[in-house]
Amino acid sequence: MNQQGAVAPSSSRNRIVQLEDVRVRFGADTDAFLALDRTSLTVEAGDFVAMVGPSGCGKSTILKLVAGLLRPSEGVVFVAGREIGAERIGIGMAFQNPTMLPWLSIRQNVMLPLKIVEPYSSTYRAHKNTLFRDRVEALLEKVGLGGFGDHRPWQLSGGMLQRANLCRALIHEPKLLMLDEPFGALDQFTREELWSILQDLWIDQRPTVFLVTHDLREAAFLANRILVMSSRPGRVTEDRKVDFARPRTIDTTYEKEFTDLTHGLRSLIVAAKQKEKVKS
Ligand SMILES: Nc1ncnc2c1ncn2[C@@H]1O[C@H](COP(=O)(O)OP(=O)(O)OP(=O)(O)O)[C@@H](O)[C@H]1O
């Protein structure tokens, strides 16, 4: 068994995330079931990884393992060369429903990680009206929300809120950015606009991104690597490299290589779902 705080093998120190033979079980006794089966995975710092697969296959479970919100039942998870939980690492998160605090302005909402996360929190009071405010304004401007800093969340549309949500996830320049279906609730046009915005932010800051999505075009547009998972108990069955030149544009998504890729991914997921039906 691994000791808490174990260090990853030195040959793999440039890998920011490593899962070794990880299994996750939920429930107890007769209700216990295996959600994630023997998963091994390594991710290089600065990479953009998308995870796709049938509903319930364990995509969000992998996000939670990497974010340290969940412990593996077996195996080990290393983040930044150390067993998860042993050392703090900057993580940004965004989910399908942006949970903004309604009594705060958009600027104050975006600033929250600076107020909470070290090394920013200790100088928050000194910088909140100068340096940090400028930083928030610059980021809001970048995502097309310049001039909306004083608005309240309920005055913004869903697409605008998700832009603000991305700003909040990135304001403290996290090393890891965890995105769980962040654009799932948006219309197609807004979603496509946000893909380009997220791509630009990633090119600027180069965090390591884990994106969970059901939208195969989204995965192929944004990621450098797409992991396809089998049905429950989930395993990574395919690891596809995506090397379309950046910055990608919406036109890229109509090119043959791109549609071949998304079509191929779709076939894999349909096959995984059929296997699930046969099992049940
Ligand atoms: N805390 C929990 N307790 C019990 N079961 C859980 C828990 N979290 C997840 N599960 C179960 O584990 C399995 C994997 O869940 P997970 O959320 O990782 O799937 P997913 O691939 O992200 O699904 P979706 O695409 O539908 O969001 C599912 O069957 C889910 O019901």
Over residues 236-257, the pLDDT tens digits come to 999 999 999 999 999 999 999 9
For β-strands 225-229 and 82-83, DSSP reports them as unpaired
Q: Which of 45-59, 113-127, 175-189, 196-210 has the lowest mean pLDDT?
A: 113-127
Residue 220 pLDDT more than 80? yes
**Alpha carbon 142 to chain centroid, angstroms:** 20
Whole-number Å distance, alpha carbon 137 to ligand 1 midpoint, is 37
Task: Verify whether ligand 1 is closer than 6 Å to residue 58 (CB atom).
Answer: yes
Question: Cα of 56 to ligand 1 centre, how many Å?
Answer: 5
In the prediction, which pLDDT does 268 show? 94
CB 60 within 8 A of CB 212: yes
Q: Above 80 in pLDDT, residue 84? A: no
272 confidence band (pLDDT: 50, 70, 90):
confident
At 202 the pLDDT is: 96
DSSP helix/strand/coil, 228? strand
Q: Per-residue pLDDT for 85 more than 70?
A: no
pTM of the complete model:
0.91
Question: What are the extents of the domains in the chain?
Answer: 53-69+91-279
At 2, the pLDDT band (50, 70, 90 cuts) reads very low
202, 209 contact by CB (below 8 A)? yes
Supply the pLDDT for residue 3.
45
pLDDT the model gives residue 8: 59
pLDDT band of 192, cuts 50, 70, 90: very high
Q: Is the dihedral of CA 13, 16, 22, 26 positive or negative?
A: positive
**Ligand 1 in reach of 59 Cβ (< 6 A):** yes
**Beta carbons within 8 Å of 166's beta carbon, 6+ residues apart:** 94, 143, 182, 194, 197, 198, 201
pLDDT tens-digit series, residues 148-184: 999 999 999 999 999 999 999 999 999 999 999 999 8
Instruction: Pick the residue whose CA is nearest to atom 16 on ligand 1.
Output: 58
Q: How far apart are CA 174 and CA 58, in angstroms?
A: 24
26 Cβ closer than 6 Å to some ligand 1 atom: yes
Yes or no: say if 265 and 226 are a contact pair by the CB < 8 Å rule: yes
Residue 44 backbone dihedrals phi, psi, to 5 degrees: -80, 150
Average pLDDT for 22-26: 95
Antiparallel, parallel or unpaired: β 208-212 and 176-180 = parallel
Within 8 A by CB and 6+ apart from 192, the residues are 250
- Across the range 45-52, mean pLDDT stands at 96
Give every strand in the sheet of 15-26, ordered side by side: 33-44, 15-26, 74-79, 82-83
Considering the domain delimited by 53-69+91-279, tell me its CATH architecture: 3-Layer(aba) Sandwich (3.40)
- 148 phi, psi to nearest 5 deg: -105, 5
* ipTM, interface predicted TM-score of the complex: 0.97
Task: Report residue 21's pLDDT band, with 50, 70 and 90 as the boundaries.
Answer: very high
Report whether 42 contacts 236 (CB < 8 A): no
User: How high is the pLDDT of residue 55?
Assistant: 92
What share of the chain has pLDDT > 70, as a percent?
93
How many angstroms separate the alpha carbon of residue 215 from the centre of ligand 1?
Answer: 18
Average per-residue pLDDT for the chain: 90
Band (1; pLDDT cuts 50, 70, 90): very low
Instruction: Measure 74 CA to ligand 1 centroid, in angstroms.
Output: 17
Q: Could you give the CA distance from residue 67 to residue 62 in angstroms, rounded to a whole number?
A: 9
CA distance 67 to 110: 20
Task: Decide: 90 and 178 in contact? Cβ < 8 Å.
Answer: no
Separation CA 55–CA 53 (nearest Å): 7
